[in-house]
Structure 1
Amino acid sequence: MPTSATSNHSSRPEDLIGCLNSAQAPCEAKLKALRDLKNQIIGNRTKKLAFLKLGAVPSVVSILSSALAAASQGGGGDNREFHEHVLIQSAAAIGSFACGLDAGVKAVLDAGAFPVLLTLISHLNEKVVDAGARSLKLIYQSKLAPKYDFLQAKNMEFLLSLLNSKNENVTGLGASIITHSCQTTVEQQTLSEAGVIKRLVSLLGGSTNQKDASLESLAAMIKENPEVASKFMGPENGRALNVVIQLMKDKYTRTKLLACMCLISIRNTSTSYLQDSEIKNTMVIVLLELLDDPGQVGDETPFVLSSLITEKEYMQKIAFDANVIDKLCEHLNTDSFRAKRLQGILLALGDLCSKLECCRDKVLDLQVLNFVPEALAHDSAEVRAAACILLKNVSRSVKNLSAGHFMNEAIAVPLIELLCDSTTSVQIAALGAISNVVVDFMAHKSVFTKCGGLKQLVQLSKSMEPAIRVSAVWALKNLAFCVSNICKEEILLELTLTTLTSLISDPETSVQEQALALIRNLVDGTPNSIDFVLGEHCTILHAIGRQMRSASKAEVLIQGMYALSNMASGNELQKEAVMNQLLPQAGSDTETLLVKFLQSIDSRLRTATIWALINLTLPSSPGTCSRVTALRSAGIVCQLKNMVNDPCPDVKLRASMALEQLMMFGDAST
Structure 2
Amino acid sequence: MVVTKHEAAVAALRSSDQQERTRAVRFIKNGVIGNRTKKELYMKMGVTERLVQFLSDPTSDLDLRVQVSVVLGSFAYGNDQNIQMLVEAGAITPLLTTLSSKELKLVEAGARALKAVYQSAHAPRGDVIKASRNNYVQDLISLLTPNDSTLEKPASSQRTVPVRISEVAAGILAKVSLAHEEQMHVARAGAIPLLVALLDVRWSAYPKLQEAALDALANLSRENPTTAQMIVSCKASHNSDKSVPLILRLVRDRRPVMRLLAATCLTNIYRTGSLPLEYQQDTILTVLPTLIKLFTETAPISSLYGSGWATVQEKAPKVFADLVEPSEDLQKAALEADAISRLAVVIIGEGGEPPEVVEPKVKSRKDAKKSATKAAPSTTPGATCGHAERVKESAFRAVAAVCSLREECRKQVIDAKLLPHIVSAMSHPSRRIRIAACECTRSLSRSVKNLRTSLVDAGVGIPLFQLLSDESVEVQTTASATLCNIVLDFSPMKKTVLENGGVERLVDLAKSMDDRLRLNAVWALKNLLFQADSEIKERVMKELGWDGLLSLINDNETGIQEQALNLLRNLACGKESDIEQVFKGLGEDKVMDILETMLTRTTQSDDIILQALYVIVNVSTGNDRHKAAIMNREKIIEAILGFMSHTKSLIRVATIWCVINLTWTDDPGAQERVVRLRELGFETRLASMMDDSNMDVKDRVKTALANFGAGSDTLSAPMEIMGTAEGSSIGTRRSRREREGVVFGSLGAAGGGGSGGRYQG
Which of the five TM-score ranges fits, normalised by the shorter chain? Answer: 0.7 to 0.9
Partner of 2:443: 393
How far apart, CA to CA, are the structure 1 residues paired with 2:255 and 2:89? 36
CA deviation after TM superposition for structure 1 residue 513, in Å: 1.2
CA deviation after TM superposition for structure 1 residue 237, in Å: 6.4
Partner of 2:549: 500
| Conserved? CA contact 2:13–2:24, under 8 Å | no
| Conserved? CA contact 1:640–1:655, under 8 Å | yes
Out of 246, 258, 263, the position equivalent to 1:260 is: 263
How far apart, CA to CA, are the structure 1 residues paired with 2:49 and 2:34? 17
Partner of 1:553: 605
Partner of 1:587: none
Partner of 2:185: 187
| Conserved? CA contact 1:100–1:142, under 8 Å | no
Residues 244 and 198 of structure 1, relative CA distance in 2, 3 Å threshold: closer
Residues 62 and 29 of structure 1, relative CA distance in 2, 3 Å threshold: closer
Root-mean-square deviation (Å) = 3.4
Residues 558 and 356 of structure 1, relative CA distance in 2, 3 Å threshold: same
CA deviation after TM superposition for structure 1 residue 258, in Å: 0.9
Determine if the alignment matches structure 1 residue 59 to structure 2 residue 47.
Answer: yes
Deviations 1:4-23 (CA, angstroms, capped at 9, x unpaired) = xx9xx96xxxx746753566
Partner of 1:161: 142
Partner of 1:210: 209
Residues 155 and 633 of structure 1, relative CA distance in 2, 3 Å threshold: same
Residues 622 and 177 of structure 1, relative CA distance in 2, 3 Å threshold: same
Letter in 1 for 2:253: D
Letter in 2 for 1:461: A
How far apart, CA to CA, are the structure 2 residues paired with 1:237 and 1:448? 64
Determine if the alignment matches structure 1 residue 275 to structure 2 residue 274.
Answer: no
Partner of 1:109: 87
CA deviation after TM superposition for structure 1 residue 565, in Å: 0.9
Out of 320, 324, 334, the position equivalent to 2:339 is: 324
| Conserved? CA contact 1:438–1:475, under 8 Å | yes
Partner of 1:287: 291
Partner of 2:231: 229
Letter in 1 for 2:396: L
Normalising by structure 2, we get a TM-score of: 0.75
After superposing the two structures, state which structure 1 stretch, 420-429 or 169-178, moved more.
420-429
Deviations 1:148-199 (CA, angstroms, capped at 9, x unpaired) = 2289784454223221345233212321232123334643541448843454
How far apart, CA to CA, are the structure 2 residues paired with 1:369 and 1:324? 16
Partner of 2:643: 597
How far apart, CA to CA, are the structure 1 residues paired with 2:476 and 2:115? 35
CA deviation after TM superposition for structure 1 residue 442, in Å: 5.6
CA deviation after TM superposition for structure 1 residue 97, in Å: 3.3
CA deviation after TM superposition for structure 1 residue 514, in Å: 0.8
Letter in 1 for 2:413: V
| Conserved? CA contact 2:442–2:485, under 8 Å | yes
| Conserved? CA contact 1:548–1:557, under 8 Å | yes
Deviations 1:235-292 (CA, angstroms, capped at 9, x unpaired) = 7361354432222232322111111112223333424245363552222222122221
Structure 1: gaps spanning 5 or more residues = 1-5, 42-46, 75-79, 585-589
How far apart, CA to CA, are the structure 2 residues paired with 1:569 and 1:17? 86
How far apart, CA to CA, are the structure 2 residues paired with 1:283 and 1:549? 48
How far apart, CA to CA, are the structure 2 residues paired with 1:480 and 1:302? 37
Out of 509, 516, 526, the position equivalent to 2:558 is: 509
How far apart, CA to CA, are the structure 1 residues paired with 2:325 and 2:482? 17
Determine if the alignment matches structure 1 residue 435 to structure 2 residue 484.
Answer: yes
Structure 2: gaps spanning 5 or more residues = 151-160, 301-309, 352-385, 714-761
Deviations 1:16-49 (CA, angstroms, capped at 9, x unpaired) = 46753566897656643432222322xxxxx48x
Residues 124 and 443 of structure 1, relative CA distance in 2, 3 Å threshold: closer
Determine if the alignment matches structure 1 residue 483 to structure 2 residue 532.
Answer: yes
| Conserved? CA contact 1:477–1:514, under 8 Å | yes
Aligned counterparts, 1:587-626, within 5 A: 592-626=638-672
| Conserved? CA contact 1:438–1:478, under 8 Å | yes
CA deviation after TM superposition for structure 1 residue 620, in Å: 2.4
CA deviation after TM superposition for structure 1 residue 352, in Å: 0.7
Letter in 1 for 2:342: K
Aligned counterparts, 1:79-478, within 5 A: 84=63, 90-99=68-77, 101-121=79-99, 126-145=104-123, 146-147=125-126, 148-149=128-129, 154-164=135-145, 165=150, 166-182=161-177, 183-184=180-181, 186-187=184-185, 189-192=187-190, 195-197=193-195, 199-202=197-200, 204-223=203-222, 224-225=225-226, 227-232=229-234, 236=238, 238-239=240-241, 240-269=243-272, 270-273=274-277, 275=279, 277-294=281-298, 295=300, 296=310, 297-333=312-348, 334-335=350-351, 337-403=387-453, 405=455, 410-439=459-488, 441=490, 443-478=492-527
| Conserved? CA contact 1:244–1:263, under 8 Å | yes
CA deviation after TM superposition for structure 1 residue 611, in Å: 0.9
Residues 159 and 66 of structure 1, relative CA distance in 2, 3 Å threshold: closer
Determine if the alignment matches structure 1 residue 576 to structure 2 residue 637.
Answer: no
Residues 597 and 249 of structure 1, relative CA distance in 2, 3 Å threshold: closer
Structure with the larger RCO, 1 or 2 (CA within 8 Å, 6+ apart):
2
The secondary structure found in structure 2 opposite 1:250 is coil
| Conserved? CA contact 1:376–1:384, under 8 Å | yes
How far apart, CA to CA, are the structure 2 residues paired with 1:573 and 1:135? 76
| Conserved? CA contact 1:564–1:612, under 8 Å | yes
| Conserved? CA contact 2:144–2:169, under 8 Å | yes
How far apart, CA to CA, are the structure 1 residues paired with 2:238 and 2:437? 45
The secondary structure found in structure 2 opposite 1:464 is coil
Normalising by structure 1, we get a TM-score of: 0.84
CA deviation after TM superposition for structure 1 residue 101, in Å: 3.2
| Conserved? CA contact 2:317–2:394, under 8 Å | yes
| Conserved? CA contact 1:617–1:627, under 8 Å | yes
Aligned counterparts, 1:637-652, within 5 A: 637-652=683-698
Deviations 1:493-549 (CA, angstroms, capped at 9, x unpaired) = 211112112322333322221111111122221222222222264366334333344
- Provide the aligned length of Structure 1 versus Structure 2: 632
Residues 555 and 566 of structure 1, relative CA distance in 2, 3 Å threshold: same
The secondary structure found in structure 2 opposite 1:55 is helix
Partner of 1:44: none
After superposing the two structures, state which structure 1 stretch, 290-299 or 180-189, moved more.
180-189
Identity %: 29
Deviations 1:601-631 (CA, angstroms, capped at 9, x unpaired) = 3322221121122122223223322322332
How far apart, CA to CA, are the structure 2 residues paired with 1:377 and 1:178? 38
Deviations 1:553-572 (CA, angstroms, capped at 9, x unpaired) = 22112111112212222333
The secondary structure found in structure 2 opposite 1:232 is coil
How far apart, CA to CA, are the structure 2 residues paired with 1:57 and 1:16? 9
Letter in 1 for 2:323: L
How far apart, CA to CA, are the structure 1 residues paired with 2:410 and 2:78? 35
How far apart, CA to CA, are the structure 2 residues paired with 1:503 and 1:157? 48
How far apart, CA to CA, are the structure 1 residues paired with 2:259 and 2:13? 50
After superposing the two structures, state which structure 1 stretch, 338-347 or 450-459, moved more.
338-347
Partner of 1:542: 592
